[in-house]
Amino acid sequence: MVLEVYHAHYQINTGGYLQKTQIMRPSIAFFDFDGTVTKKDTLFEIVRYTKGNTALYTGLLMLAPAMVLMKLKMLSNVKVKQLFLQYFFGNMPEQQFRSKCAAFCRERLPFLIREDALQAIKEHQLQGHRVAVVTASAQEWVQPWCSALGIECIATRLETVNARITGRIYGENCNGEEKVRRIEEKFSLPLYGEIYAYGDTSGDKAMLAIATHPFFRKFN
């Protein structure tokens, strides 16, 4: 069922009197990606796809000390994420990286998508709602999938220097409050009558808090 939200608008009619009219305000839906739309963390899956299982497990072994420090809260999640990206993709030509990510979106990502989450996206589209994925994953391996589906993408941006991936994050990791900041940067939320948000971790709580219809772990 389409939820129609209106706000009052007054105009002078032909008789010279103020006439109240109602204008429908659009709706928008925000979806977290990893764990909400997907069944697995796509950071590991993009490495598995591009480098293979042996390289993935070898890298995890090499990075194990950093991950232990993260568990002990002696190293931030963002720092470990950057170490991970630098280890596997640092100094890779940007065009090669983008090409591999696009292939991942075509060939592997469809098998990682939760069917009921995809159906929810399509239902929002059928109702004429604007839809956006808001994710801490890198834009390079999420944007192509979003574009193919006709939805928008807000994601973590990776730094490039001399047309090569450095493995460092450009700006802020798109998680927690940064998700809301990036949403408000792109969309004027007061224009929307109904705001839907779907997430599955504490990193989505700020985004869920701005929604009129928040859904936590709806597809899990």
Q: For 135-144, write each residue's pLDDT tens digit.
A: 999 999 999 9
The pLDDT tens digits of the residues spanning 18-70 come to: 454 456 889 999 999 999 999 999 999 999 999 999 999 999 999 999 999 99
Report the candidate in 220, 216, 177, 180 with the shortest Cα–Cα distance to residue 199: 216
Predicted pLDDT of residue 154: 98
Under 8 Å between Cβ of 27 and 3 = yes
Per-residue confidence in pLDDT tens, the chain, 220 aa: 334 444 444 444 555 554 544 568 899 999 999 999 999 999 999 999 999 999 999 999 999 999 999 999 999 999 999 999 999 999 999 999 999 999 999 999 999 999 999 999 999 999 999 999 999 999 999 999 999 999 999 999 999 999 999 999 999 999 999 999 999 999 999 999 999 999 999 999 999 999 999 999 999 9
Distance between CA atoms of 118 and 109, rounded to whole angstroms? Answer: 12
Strands 152-161 vs 18-25: parallel, antiparallel or unpaired: unpaired
Number of domains the chain is built from? 1
Predicted pLDDT of residue 21: 47
Predicted pLDDT of residue 38: 98
Domain interval for residue 181: 5-216
Distance between CA atoms of 204 and 220, rounded to whole angstroms? Answer: 15
Task: Count how many residues are written for the chain.
Answer: 220
Predicted pLDDT of residue 24: 81
Residue 58: both structure tokens together: 């070898």
* DSSP output for the chain: -PPPEEEEEEEE-TTS-EEEEEEEEPEEEEE--TTTTBSS-HHHHHHHHHH-HHHHHHHHHHTHHHHHHHHTTSS-HHHHHHHHHHHHHTT-BHHHHHHHHHHHHHHTGGGGB-HHHHHHHHHHHHTT-EEEEEEEEEGGGTHHHHHHHT-EEEEEEEEEETTEEEEEEES--S-THHHHHHHHHH--GGG-SEEEEEE-SGGGHHHHHT-SEEEESS--
Provide the 10 A C-beta neighbour count for residue 12. 9
- Indicate which CATH number applies to the domain containing 160: 3.40.50.1000
The contacts of residue 164 (CB under 8 Å, 6+ apart) are 91, 92, 93, 94
Place of tokens 């936590």: 216
Q: Is the dihedral of CA 157, 163, 167, 170 positive or negative?
A: negative
Exposed / middle / buried, residue 75 (Cβ in 10 Å: 0-12, 13-18, 19+): middle
Predicted pLDDT of residue 22: 53
